[in-house]
């Protein structure tokens, strides 16, 4: 199983990594429990910064497509196949679009929505909620 990164692609390398690993997991090319290369190995082979690969792995772990088992390394999550079809980004966009539409319907103006969103985000960052 090979991974191909095109540095001239408008999609950033970490997003290309996520997309291809998700594809490999959902198509069964990477079975649940299969070991993945270390961050250092993949970064070295693709001539990328370690942080780029680490970011892709962190987001894939958040989506439960892969899981880190400490010193033993990173593996495909047991539920990785079903989780790899979930696209959290498009889900967030969809949810926001629905919420914004509801606010507008209730007569809330765009600057009010914008201010409220910013305040809630800032508060949640401060409180960690």
Partner 1 sequence: MAWSNNLFYIVFAGQILLLSWYLPTKLLARMQHVLETYPPAKYPKLYPKPIEHYRMGHLLYKYANRCILLLGFAILLALMFWVDHATFADDGFISEAWPAVFGMLQFLPLIGVELSEFSNLKQMRQANSAARRVASLERRSFIDMVSPALLGMTVLLFVGAIVFDLYVHDFAVSWGHDTVHRAIVMSITNGLLATVGLLSFFGRKRDPHQSAEDRTHSVAVNLKALLFISMALSVFNLMSAAENLVHMQSFEAVLVSIYFQVIALLSVGYTLKNIKTEDLNFDVYRKDAAAI
Contacts with partner 1, residue ranges (CB under 8 A)? 1-9, 21, 24, 30, 35-38, 40-42, 44-48, 73
36, β-bridge pairs = 74
CB of 83 to partner 1, least distance (A): 18
Using the minimum distance from each CB to partner 1, give the nearer residue, 46 or 77. Answer: 46
Identify the burial level of 38 via C-beta atoms within 10 angstroms of its C-beta, where 0-12 means exposed, 13-18 middle and 19 or more buried: middle
Provide the 10 A C-beta neighbour count for residue 52.
Answer: 19
Distance CA 118, CA 20 (A): 33
Instruction: Output 32 or 37, the one with its CB closest to partner 1.
Output: 37
Residue 42 or 81 with smaller CB distance to partner 1: 42
Q: How far is the CB of 127 from partner 1 (least distance, A)?
A: 39
Instruction: Between 45 and 129, name the residue whose CB sits nearer to partner 1.
Output: 45
Q: How many CA atoms lie within 13 A of 25 on its CB side?
A: 30
Shortest distance in whole angstroms from residue 53 CB to partner 1: 10
Q: Closest separation between CB of residue 30 and partner 1, Å?
A: 7
For residue 103, what are the contacts with CB-CB under 8 A and spacing of at least 6? 113
Task: Give the residue carrying structure tokens 């993949």.
Answer: 42
């Amino acid at each position: 199983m090979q991974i191909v990164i095109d540095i001239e692609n408008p999609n950033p390398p970490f997003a290309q990594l996520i997309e291809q690993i998700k594809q490999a997991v959902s198509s069964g090319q990477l079975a649940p429990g299969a070991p993945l290369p270390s961050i250092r190995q993949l970064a070295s082979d693709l001539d990328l910064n370690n942080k780029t690969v680490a970011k892709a792995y962190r987001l894939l772990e958040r989506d439960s497509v892969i899981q880190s088992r400490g010193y033993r390394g990173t593996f495909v999550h047991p539920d990785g196949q079903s989780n790899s079809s979930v696209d959290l980004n498009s889900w967030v966009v969809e949810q926001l679009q629905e919420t914004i539409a509801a606010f507008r319907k209730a007569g809330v103006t765009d600057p009010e929505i914008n201010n409220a969103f910013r305040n809630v985000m800032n508060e949640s960052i401060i409180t960690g909620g």
